[in-house]
Each structure stands twice: as C-alpha cells, then as structure tokens.
Structure 1
Amino acid sequence: MPANLLEIQIGGRQVNREWFAIRTQPRKEQIARKHYEQQDFIVYLPHILTIRRHARRIDKVPRPLFPGYVFLHLFIEERRWNTIRSTIGATGPVRFGEYYPPVPDWVIEGLRVREDENGLISLGVHGSTFKPGDRVSVVLENLEYLEGIFQAAKGEDRALILMEILSRQVSTMVPMWALKAA
C-alpha cells in the first residue's frame, strides 16, 4: 500500500483518489465496511465514544460519528456505483440526481488527526453554550465559514444545525468543536 493514498503514479501520470459518502442500512455500518473491505475498497468509518444507559448501568461504547454512513476512497475506475449500491449493508452513494459529490480530503484528514490510539475520534468539547435558534458558524480547516442555525445538541460532542446548501435548507450533524457564534 502506498504511503500517501491520495496520490499514486500510474503510467507516469498522477492519479488522485476521492472520498465519497456511502449511505448504509440502519445500524449496518460495520457490515457494509466489512463487505467493502472484502472487495478491496479503502473504507473509513470514524467512531466516537458515547455513553449508553441501560438497566441502571452506564457504559461507554464506540458508535459511528456519522450514523448510517461510511466513506470510500475511490479512483475513477473504481466508481462502480451499481456494485457499491448492491454491497451487503449499504443502500448506495450520496448523490444529487446523477451527480455524486466527493467529500473533500481535508474533511477526512481533519477527522483522522483527531483519532486517539484506539481509533476513536476525540472531539474534546463537553456541553453546549448554544440555544436552539442561535446563528452559528462552522469553522473547519480549509473553509472560512459556513453559517447555519443551531437546532439541538446531540450528545456531548455533536450538534444538529440547519444550513442552506444548494438553495435548500438541510439539517446536518457537525462536531461541537467546529461551532462558533455567528
């Protein structure tokens, strides 16, 4: 496996892979991941440690950071959408009509640098200072600002915000560490 998965030389020219979000069946992320790996795809499924309360017990359990999604790192010739869609545990790639939007590399890299030695994402923020309806900015490494409206805290590490994307209002989950007051 090459040291840098983003750049590989083929026939003297540089070929780039791109990340794509793939929707899975409910709570089948691990199954989809296993089957994609068996097909020699490069798969990324980020996890966080969450608290589970059940029968007077409190456990810390790893859960997907983005429930219902895995990420595939694909060359152009690997973008066999029918194969990807029909993989056990998956429902198919995220798409808008016939357009399959790639996930920017810096998003995945930003998640990977926050992984601890167990491969769990450490978001490092506890509690929320935002109230529903507050205007917030999402600040990520290579993006100056994306603005939205804070809707709710989801656990200690994630927030649900309403953003305008492609002239539509979309509710999306973002890490708390990326939010600032607008």
Structure 2
Amino acid sequence: MWPVPYFEEYKTMAQWYVMYTKPRQESVALENLQRQNYSVFFPQARVQKRKAGQGSVQVVEPLFPRYMFVNLEVGVDDFSKLRSTKGCMDLVKFGGKPAIVPLELIGLIQGQVDGDFVLDLLALNRLEVGGEVRVAEGPFEGMMGKIAGQKSDQRVIVLLNFLGAERSVELARSQLDKA
C-alpha cells in the first residue's frame, strides 16, 4: 500500500527510515516489504539513456539506487524482520541506530513525483529556444551553442560558433545536453 501524499497520518509517532537493498533488487524488496504490510516509499526517476545501437531511450530507474524509505513505529513494528526480508540488506544506521529521515524531506520528494511515484527528470531538462546547450555526441561533440528553433519533436536548430562565425546546425535532441 502506498503512503498518503505528504504522510499527514504519520506526523505523531511513526518515523521514516532508509532501507538499503541488495543490488538491483529494489522491486523485490518493495514487493516483500509491502506484502508484510510495511508502508514503503520508493521514488523513481524518468531519464534519457544512451544505448549502443539504439540511440537514446527513456527509462525509469530508482531515484536513489539501492535505497527506499520505510515508515516504522518504535514499539509497534517489528524491526528485526526487515533484515531477513527478501531483497533487503538492512536499515541505514549511524552509531548502531537506524537513521531517521525528516518528514519534511519525504514530503518534498513526494511533492515532486507523479501518481506512480516517478520524478520526470526529462521535464527538468527540456530544451527551449534561446537556451544554452552542449553537444554531447556527433561531429560537433563538446561544442557549446544556443537553441535557435525547433524543427520537430526530435530535431532542433542549434547556433554553433565555429570557423569565426555563428552557424546554424540541425541536430537530434538526443545529441544535446542542457548547459
């Protein structure tokens, strides 16, 4: 069961803790923690990745790889079962005591994710006319430029300064990074 936005019902007694998971086992840990009726918050991020032979593809991956948040109440929840939960390693601890995550931090992250608990990092990296960019791949790799116009959803016109003058070049969005 996913937590209620901003977690109002947990303000008084329960605290948020950080669960450290086994490598690439976040979904296994999430499923098993939820099966045991723990309240878990597992934020993810939508990002663009470059894959050999496929170009640029959108993927959803953990916002904090190998970490998720678990809401627990001392004296009510059984902390000892967490270590033996499939996919989980242990709670993050400092000085032997589980580290408590401030409710405000959980609320801040919760306020940035969508209904599927995914933070769209692509929206934060949108290219706009007049914006500065760096060419990430291709013959102009490493050059800085400015977006002059949009050709289509996948292509933009970039002004690059080379050979002593500003030249317009049509490039794929996937070739560019926001400066």
Q: Is the radius of gyration larger for structure 1 or structure 2?
A: 2
- Contact 2:45–2:61 (CA<8 Å) still a contact in 1? yes
Q: Per-residue displacement from partner, 1:102-128 (whole Å, max 9, x unpaired)?
A: 00001110011111344311455449x
Structure 2 length normalisation: TM-score?
0.60
Computed over aligned residues only, the root mean square deviation of the Cα atoms, in angstroms, reads 2.8
> How many angstroms apart in 2 are the aligned matches of 1:105 and 1:84?
21
- Deviation sequence 1:119-157 (CA, Å, 0-9, x none): 311455449xxxxxxxxxxxxxxxxxxxxxxxxxxxx8x
Structure 2 counterpart of 1:50, one-letter code: V
Letter in 2 for 1:80: D
Q: 1:58-115: per-residue Cα shift (whole Å, max 9, x none)?
A: 2211111000101101111244332111100010000023211200001110011111
Residue equivalent to 1:175: none
- State the one-letter code of the partner of 2:16: W
TM-score, normalised with respect to structure 1: 0.59
Match of 2:22 among 8, 25, 38: 25
Structure with a larger share of its residues in helix:
2
**RCO comparison, higher one (Cα < 8 Å, 6+):** 2
Distance 2:43 2:69 in 1: 9
Contact 1:6 1:17 in 2 (8 A): no
In 2, the alpha carbon distance for the partners of 1:117 and 1:79 equals 27
Which structure 2 residue ranges, 5 or more long, are not aligned? Answer: 127-176
Question: Aligned residue for 2:174?
Answer: none
* Secondary structure at the counterpart of residue 56 of structure 1: coil
Listed as ranges, the gaps of 5+ residues in structure 1 are 9-13, 128-155, 157-182
